[in-house]
Structure 1
Amino acid sequence: MDFIIDATIKAVQQLYNTTITANDINLQQTRKEFEGQVTIVTFSFTKFSRKSPEQTGQDVGEYLLANIDEVSDFNIIKGFLNISIANSYWLYIYNNTISKESFGIAQPNGKKVMVEYSSPNTNKPLHLGHVRNNLLGYSVAAILEAAGYEVVKANLVNDRGIHICKSMLAWQMFGEGETPQSAGLKGDHLVGKYYVIFDKEYKRQIEDLKAVGKTEEEAKKSAPLIIQAQQMLQKWEAGDEAVISLWKTMNTWVYDGFAKTYKKLGVDFDQYYYESNTYLLGKDIIEEGLTKGIFFKKEDGSVWIDLTEEGLDQKLVLRADGTSVYITQDLGTAQLKYNDFGMDESIYVVGNEQDYHFKVLFLILQKLGKNWAKGLYHLSYGMVDLPSGKMKSREGTVVDADDLIAEMEATAKEQTEALGKTEGYSDEDKQHLYYMIGMGALKYFLLKVDPKKRLLFDPNESVDFQGHTGPFIQYTHARIKSVLSRAGDITQTNLTSELDPLERDLIITLSQYPETIEIAAKEFNPAAIANYIYDLAKIYNKFYHEKSILQAESSSLKNFRLKISSTTAKIIAHGMKLLGINVPERM
């Protein structure tokens, strides 16, 4: 609140003959257990007031109350001056700002940002970890766009390497020409099936070799299956037509499967990069780094960088035989992305097991003098766990995304029907509702937690209509829409009388939405939006239960409460959309 800051600067000048700036004022939102909406921390003022924090607060509070019409009262808790803002101010803010269609929509800021997420391997279906990754990346992109950025959503697909050769080889050996159509399986599940078959057969060969005296390490390296897979990779890199043809066929199956899962998850991409096109990139950058003395060669010809002064270690950037390592291609891909889009910032949404890799990548690019490297950021997120026994995975190791989505729809159906919330729905509408609630529950549960934290996902808990959940918020939106539907047309009314405390609290919460978007965008943290929308839904429900809307004491009050209800529904829908969640019109 700029007027509070300006008035506090004047108060300090007049009371203590001292000049301060806005940076010297610590303004906070008043804690819920105290009266007031804005708090000024007065501890830092005592050095020139020569008084206790409490007496300093008393001086400043009396000045504000006497000189600022918007200040209606104040109280002091130790060194915290809690300011109550007059109802007239909140009504003015609502009528002239919050109620406008443009509220919460930022103007373009002229900056471009790329958000890279998903980044799957093409040897198996997307799994639970990918779900958090995709939902997080998609939401961060939506939030940044809402904050005024031009956003590019990118997906770097890991479509080459030994992992895909394992699936290809197993299909050649055991597949008997099976296709997604003949098997009745999504393409990514079919390819994943052969990856599992390879792994089982490979382990069997290892045990056979150990039984005849090989060590485990020797057995892993000399098992016929792994040697054949390595030979297939060499053929791929050499451009062998038969291998390339099979690789394209099986990857096509996988992409078709991924597309269906992405559609179910409600995520999309503006730009795809493929490792098969980028894995040779970066070698020019290595030469550039050698010329600049950033890298050094060892006697065997391998190229390294010494990062010990930065608290890291020596890092290999090119093998002795001249072949790339991951950091090589990532250096090249980072340059390619910048060449393509010239973005101000680039966000990598990747799990926290890659923290070290990205520290090294960003540091190397900075040492190479890439000015754009200062805009690189690793959005590191924690793993997702499930309560033991809650779900079974198709492969027996990880929960795949399609199984999780099906489970969420089934859970939503069970709980929605138990609560009797589908009266008057056609079968088609019911299925759409179950999907909307199930996906809302999944997305909200995964996004309400700070990305850095590891979380435990419980499908049943996530669909609780009374808890800190997506369905609770979805139901609140449907409740508001029901009220508005019964009311018919709303007459435009600007309330001029006193606000009820619940109405005031609702307006205050609504007013915080643009700032919440800014915070979420700055921190790349959808949890800020998720928790804000939950707080808004809670406050509205309290207002709904304690105040009559359609039977209000006057027509002007009725129309005002309908208008504020409509605004609340709009903000809930907009905020949930930033999380990738749709809200129902009825429920």
Structure 2
Amino acid sequence: MKQILQQLIQDAFYTNFDKKISANIDMPKEAEFDYSSNIALQTAKELGKSPKDIAAILEKDLKDTHDAIESIEISGPGFLMFTMKKSFLFSLVHNNAKTWGHTKNEDKKIMVEYSCLNAMKPFHIGHLRNMFLGESIARILETQGYNVFRANYYGDIGMNIAKCIWGLRNINNNTIPATPRLRGDSMGKCYALGGTAYKEQENAKKEIQQISKELYLGDNEDTQKIFQQGREWSFEYFETIYKKLGMTFDQHFYESQSWKPGMEIIKKHIGSLFTESNGAIVFEGEKFKEKLHTRVFINSEGNPTYETKDMGLCSQQNEAFAFDQNIHVVGNEQAGYFPVIFEAQYQVFPQLRDKQYHLSYGMVKLKDGKMSSRTGDVLYGDWLIDEAESKVSEILSSRDIADKENVIDKVAVGALKFGMLHIQPKNDIIFSLEKSTQFEGDTGPYVQYAYARISSILEKITPETFDDAVLIQNLEEADWNLIRHIQYFPLILQRCADEKTPHYLTHYLLKLVSNFSSWYSANSVKHADSPELQAGRIKIIKLLQITIKNGLHSLGIEVIEKM
């Protein structure tokens, strides 16, 4: 409905003021209205008229323009307030289950780059936030009709790999761990050992620097053997994580494959875009755009930096999927990095200007501060998943549930996803596992339980069949209020897509489920006053259940039929 109202307002505005505008449609705070627009307030200064005068002109022109509109009123300083006909609201119950909430858009191609784990390094709980956010954004964008390409960029060459190789050589353990997870844990410990040695021992630092050179030169057989084995173990381990979290990617990209093309690009543009400085090759960003700074692309030892790898990656990603926008899901610690690298990329590839976007997010913090994977003082991501499963298992221990292990897995992963996505990306998280796994409060299990509760209600009732007109006449005001809240689902998804944040959706689902709980405690479905009222309420809670399912799917969370 949002698009229809937008178009009606825009047409009326053009007819009366001979100007093309983009109209905002919002959810009003006043419960008696369904939609609102502040277009009169937005354009008052430009038109030289009072907002109320503009609103009055538009209100008069908009009357009787669409069958779904019951009335239009002017509120406050000049808001246009729309009330929809009950026949329109009830028509929502006929929406297709799979596509309810979705919007048809132009065929815009969007790449979402996320996860981006480092080979031969620990997988910690901060990485979980990245993966949850990236997957949810990809799914939300798909609800808007965009062609979405999921990209994963592995950090698999450089100093981090060299530190792990040094650790593997010095840990004196020839036993191969039995499972992918144990192999991943083993490499994490070796990396931590190498990281500490690099920081505290000068000889170790030199040895690690030498290993890094050998990785790029490829001239040391033993280094290459360990390198390839470590990569294989890492990727095998990461795939178990992705499977657990319900994630797949359209393509994996690798630093080990992007640095050479990046070096070629840099060397080709030395003198025009890149300059020599103290033996290194740099990009002086401040010469191209205000507030940028200089960054090193090839260090004084002749090795590529992350900047050069990202230059090669840019070319590879655009070749794989000619995107209209590329969203890089990366922590806010890199907020100063991306404007410079993007400008360097735009100078080389002008057709990509303004198509790169950094989706920044805050850190996951603990009581003792930010996590570090350099020293081994780190909480692994799979440890957190295990702990969540243990908490959920304890809560469900006394319940008779079919396929309980699968239910525990879905609830635990859903709890982690919902808990982290509930916070706006730009903000840091102090994550509470205890709170997130509860079946009450602002949690994923609370929403999953509501879905299961509706399933239980529906399986016990077989309603009679009536025409919509009969059902509409028998519904009560509390029923209509529930439908009114359901109708905003497409609006919420669009806002999440526009602002690239899923937290609006988690808040919406919690409010929706809370409203359902209050409604159900006061309004019986099974023992409704009439068969017509019962049939109408069945249709409402079916749409509510579809809304919960599609909303949780957009967050990467599975529903459960029985809990």
- TM-score surpassing 0.5? yes
Alignment partner of 1:509 is 2:508 = no
Alpha-carbon contact 1:58-1:76 (below 8 Å) kept: no
Distance across 1 between alignment mates of 2:13 and 2:130: 49
What residue number does 2:364 align with? 384
How far 1:175 sits from its partner (Å)?
2.6
- The normalised TM-score by structure 1 is 0.84
Could you tell me how far 1:564 is from its partner in structure 2? 1.6
Please report how far the alpha carbon of residue 306 of structure 1 lies from its aligned counterpart in structure 2 after TM superposition.
4.1
Partner in structure 2 of residue 340 of structure 1: 320
3-state SS in 2 of match to 1:129: helix
Distance apart, 1:567 and its partner CA: 1.5
**Alignment match, 1:77:** 76
> What secondary structure sits across from 1:28 in the alignment?
coil
Secondary structure of the 1:366 match is helix
Change (3 A) 1:283 1:24: closer
CA distance 1:29–1:186, change in 2 (3 Å): same
The corresponding residue for 2:504 is: 528
Equivalent-residue separation in structure 2 for 1:108 and 1:43 (angstroms): 28
Q: String of CA shifts for 1:447-466, please: whole Å, max 9, x gaps.
A: 12211111221011112322
Aligned equivalent of 2:126? 129
Tell me how far apart the structure 1 counterparts of residues 227 and 43 of structure 2 sit (CA, whole Å): 69
CA distance in structure 2 between the aligned counterparts of 1:304 and 1:58, rounded to whole angstroms: 56
What corresponds to 1:328 in structure 2?
A: 308
Deviations along 1:280-339, one digit per CA (max 9) or x if unpaired, are 221232244346x23334475734334254212233333455432221121111111111
TM-score by length of 2: 0.87
Which residue number in structure 1 is paired with residue 17 of structure 2? 19
Quote the residue 2:235 is aligned against.
Answer: 255
Contact 1:154 1:271 in 2 (8 A): yes
SS in 2 for 1:23: coil
Cα distance in structure 2, aligned partners of 1:425 and 1:295: 63
Report what 2:405 is aligned to. 431
Q: Partner amino acid for 2:168?
A: W
Q: Alpha carbons of 1:74 and 1:233: their partners in 2 closer, same or farther (altered >3 Å)?
A: closer
Structure 2 Cα separation of the partners of residues 108 and 8 of structure 1: 19
Q: 1:10 to 1:401 in 2, by over 3 A?
A: closer
1:225-282 deviation digits (Å, cap 9, x = unpaired): 2222222233333322222112112222222222222222222222111212222221
1:35–1:84 CA contact under 8 A, matched in 2: yes
Which letter maps to 2:316? L
TM-superposition CA deviations, 1:523-556 (whole Å, max 9, x none)? 2212232222222222222222221212222222
Match of 2:214 in 1: 235
Which residue matches 2:158? Answer: 161
Partners of 1:465 and 1:535 lie apart in 2 by 15
How far is the alpha carbon of 1:169 from its aligned partner?
2.3
Find the aligned partners of 2:374 and 2:387 in 1 and give their Cα distance.
Answer: 13
Pair 1:173-2:170 in alignment:
yes
Q: Secondary structure at the match of 2:260?
A: coil
CA 90–271 in structure 1, closer or farther in 2 if over 3 Å, else same: same
SS of alignment partner, residue 316 of structure 1: strand
- Contact between 1:123 and 1:163, CA under 8 Å: does it hold in 2? yes
Confirm whether residue 565 of structure 1 aligns to residue 544 of structure 2.
no
Which of these residues, 467, 476, 486, is aligned with residue 441 of structure 2?
467
User: What is the CA–CA distance in structure 1 between the aligned matches of 2:159 and 2:49, rounded to whole Å?
Assistant: 72
* Contact 2:198–2:208 (CA under 8 A) maintained in structure 1: no
| Aligned 8 A contact 2:329 2:360 in 1 | yes
Q: CA deviation at 1:129?
A: 0.9
Distance in 2 (CA, whole Å) between partners of 1:67 and 1:110 is: 29
Greater CA drift, 191-200 or 55-64: 55-64
Aligned length: 555
Render the CA deviation track for 1:319-377: whole Å, top value 9, x for unaligned.
45543222112111111111122222211111011111111111112223431242111
Taking the aligned partners of 1:366 and 1:200, their CA distance within structure 2 comes to 38
Are 1:350 and 2:330 matched, yes or no?
Answer: yes
Of 116, 120, 128, 2:117 maps to 120
The equivalent position to 1:453 in structure 2, one of 427, 444, 452, is 427
**CA distance in 1 between partners of 2:429 and 2:506 (Å):** 15
Aligned mates of 2:6, 2:145 — CA distance in 1 = 26
1:90 is aligned to 89
Mark the runs of 5 or more structure 2 residues left unpaired by the alignment. Answer: none
Change (3 A) 1:387 1:488: farther
Gap change, CA 1:393 and 1:177, over 3 Å in 2: same
Amino acid in the other structure paired with 1:414: E
Distance 1:471 1:329, change over 3 A: same
Deviations 1:62-98 (A, max 9, x none): 887899873357474344454433423423x425x63
Partner of 1:272: 252
Query: Alignment partner of 1:280: what SS?
Result: helix
Distance 2:237 2:535 in 1: 50
Flag the structure with more relative contact order, 1 or 2, with Cα contacts below 8 A and sequence separation at least 6: 2
Is contact 1:196-1:395 (8 Å) kept? yes
Deviation at 1:168, TM superposition (A): 1.9
Residue 359 (1) aligns with residue 339 (2): yes
Are the counterparts in 1 of residues 44 and 51 from structure 2 also a CA contact under 8 Å? yes
Task: Please give the secondary structure, in 2, of the residue aligned with 1:374.
Answer: coil
What is the Cα deviation at residue 151 of structure 1? Answer: 1.9
* C-alpha contact (below 8 Å) 1:180/1:253 kept by paired residues: no
The answer to whether the 8 A contact 2:189-2:376 is kept is no
Question: How many angstroms apart in 2 are the aligned matches of 1:533 and 1:21?
Answer: 38
Computing the radius of gyration from Cα coordinates, the structure with the larger value is 1
Q: Which amino acid aligns with 1:29?
A: M
Which 10-residue stretch deviates more, 232-241 or 130-139?
A: 232-241
